[in-house]
Amino acid sequence: MKKLVIVESPAKIKTISKILGNDYRIMSTMGHVMDLPAKKIGVSIEKSGIEIEYVPIKDKDRVIAEICKAAQGADAVFLGPDPDREGEIIAWHIENQIKKAAKKKKQNIHRIFFNEITAPAINEAIENPSTVDMDKVNAQQARRILDRWVGYEVSPVLWKKIAPGLSAGRVQSVALRLVVDREAAIRAFKPEEYWTIDGTFKQKKDGFVAALTHIGKKKLDISDKKTADKVVTDLKKQSYEVESIDDKKRLKNPLAPFMTSTLQQAAYNRLGFSVKKTMQVAQKLYEGVPLNDPSTPVALITYMRTDSLRLSDTALKSARGYITQTYSKEYLPTKANVYGKKSKSKAQDAHEAVRPVDANLSPDSIKGKLSSDERKLYTLIWQRFIACQMKPAQYAQRVVTIKGGEYTFKATGSTLIFDGFLKVYGVEDDDKDKVKIPAELKAKTAITLSKVDPKQHFTQPPPRYTEASLVKEMEKEGIGRPSTYSATLSTIQARSYTKLDEKKRFIPTELGTAVTQLLVKNLPHIMDKKFTANMEEDLDKIAQGDLERDKLLKKFYKEFQDDLKKFKGSSKGAQREAIPTELKCPECKKQKLNIRFGRSGEFLGCPGFPDCDFTSNFERAESGEIKIVKTEPPKLLDEKCPKCSSPLRKLNGRFGEFTACSGYPKCKYIKQETAGFKCPKDKGDVVRRVWRGGKFWGCGNYPKCKFAIFDEIEEKKCPKCKLPFLIKKTSKDGNVTLLCSDKECGYTK
């Protein structure tokens, strides 16, 4: 009888099947199978402890049933979800479901861990099975319950106080606060003037630039043109001498191998990948990509959700061997480079840094066998891994000090004399020579000042966060964990709490600012960075077995309920929150306008309502200044309404521009884009609809018929089942796939 191996992702099935052979059957949970119920909290605090209600996730009953049935006939069951807390809870849920289905029959169930999908790693996991780690299960449950309490209990208060459909999150809301606080700092920033003065010096032929650093013993501090001009005039009167030349070697050490956060940052900065895209591509590289045989995917990297910098002895030997063969021993350190401290947690120390599975599988050796994105990310991971085990780069650095009267100039030049790890990882911008100092320059000799260049500058506000810098800040502050960064960044954008400027930097929306201000005021604990970071540390302690799950949850819930009670109380019968502005109402001339939030989004409104009902759209300038935007009047068209013959008109609505009858409200006709085929369910018209999440095709007889397609369509009959349309999916590379919407048909082109 076969042995059963259960993994998370169906993409791993082929790779692991090839490794283990015909004696094993590989099945997938396709992610989580159980969770808290969708329509209630599902968590209660009893005298005996915290009670958790789990239910099958929608459409997962069948998956659970099939796995349980297969387990009944298996000699042994190996639970192989991912080696993290989320993977552990999946393993625990599946184990419980199998035992429940087996009733009295004893099941031979094991938990296995592998950090890479290779034959040695998989076989070693099978030969050394373990049990489900209940400490990690408890840590995941604690995190899930904390998130459920915050999300389910805070969000309804936001609906009452600001607008329907809003959400709050334990990590999400604190990440949003970082963006809001940064924007507030930018708007409050007042630039200050300062001046720098460079001098061009010559001793023989070649000149070089040095910066004025000191006047007397004081560092240069010039804040206006008048002072700068005075200094420039005085500089021209002085005689100058090379006071000293300091030659030394400078080492630039290789960077550590990637962990999740540094991979996300480097992929953003070097490749322009979003955090979400990085994790999606990394997942494919981890699960396996077909190289020589399309039926045999090959895993290229180790598990990509980790905060460990540890490298296995096998990986180190592989890297050192590759470096010796390819770049010579000159590039190889005497001992392997070690990064980071050994983790206190055995579970965490089992993880490795993100690295290639095989150092010898260089990006050039598999060129043309990966997609463009896969090739770019794999190259980045491979280069960082090889580079981290190479010698430092060496620079010859020359610091020249020049004196004339009370003025001191300095110039620093550096030349790369040994590229070391840069041979693989590339030269950064700051390594390029900016100043070339003549080799024949001598100390204690006269030198001529040939040119003085004063420059005016202004101090700059702190920059807005990019995805990379926000991840870096979250990591620095201890907000969230590697597995949550991508989801957090996606959520604050999907909820319309933030948007991206033209340089892809985060700007908080008015809604995001209002939500943050309200939560900071009323729920100071969950919005505090240190509190959130300490909570993450406590979750780590639970995973290590150093803290009881229920002790942490009960303590949090008591403080949380005290704050929440006041928050809820302040929302009863109160007006919805608004952001005050300095703009006077143009109608009543009495009140200052407020920013309010309605079903159509944000708008300016007079607080004197109902006596004054002025409302208007608005825009906010970079400086934070708010301007009233006059709404364009509806534009009448030559086209007639098919229902009442009144002229149609173009209007701007909640979801953009649309065309409707000018006879509204007597005639409520709205022009819709109609597909060239009828609804396959009730033969009604299929029309284009718009909602907050975008556009979709739906039956015109809604709500009687709920037929809907959320993808683009191609009006061609399916060659297999004759449905009158095909779904059209276009990848980022521009490749188009046509497929039938009927899963049982399965047609794909």
Collect all residues with Cβ–Cβ distance below 8 Å to 625 and sequence separation of at least 6: none
Q: How far is CA 455 from the centre of its chain?
A: 39
List the structure tokens of 111. Answer: 């938990």
Coil vs helix vs strand at 566:
helix
- Identify any residues that bridge with 407 across adjacent strands, giving them in sequence order: 215, 404
Q: Catalytic pick from 24, 303, 425, 465?
A: 303
Kind of pairing, strands 446-458 and 407-418? unpaired
Instruction: Assign 639 to helix, strand or coil.
Output: strand
CA distances to 253, 418, 436, 464 from 394, in Å? 9, 5, 17, 34
SS3 assignment for 334-396: CCCCCCCCCCCCHHHHCCCCECECCCCCCHHHHCCCCCHHHHHHHHHHHHHHHHCCCCCEEEE
**DSSP SS3 for 225:** helix
Please say whether the beta carbons of 650 and 659 come within 8 A: yes
Per the DSSP assignment, residues forming a β-bridge with 648 are 661
Contacts of 317 (CB under 8 A, 6+ apart): none
List of E strands, 47-178: 49-52, 55-56, 77-79, 109-111
- Maximum distance among all Cα pairs of the chain, rounded to whole angstroms: 100
CA distances from 474 to 167, 281, 488, 500, 711 (A): 20, 22, 10, 18, 34
Residue 192 tokens read as 């200050």
Give the 3-state secondary structure of 33-61: CEECCCCCCCEEEECCEEEECCEECCCCH
Judge residue 506's burial from the number of C-beta atoms within 10 Å of its C-beta, 0-12 exposed, 13-18 middle, 19 or more buried. Answer: buried
Residue 94: CB atoms within 10 Å: 25
Q: Nearest to residue 7, comparing CAs of 278, 307, 287, 350? A: 287
Nearest-CA neighbor of 492 among 476, 528, 469, 516?
Answer: 516
Distance CA 606, CA 583 (A): 10
Helix (H, G, I), strand (E, B) or coil at 501: coil
For the question of residue 152 being annotated catalytic, the response is no
Please write down the HEC assignment for all residues of 506-551. EEECHHHHHHHHHHHHHCCCCCCHHHHHHHHHHHHHHHCCCCCHHH
Q: Which residues are catalytic?
A: 303
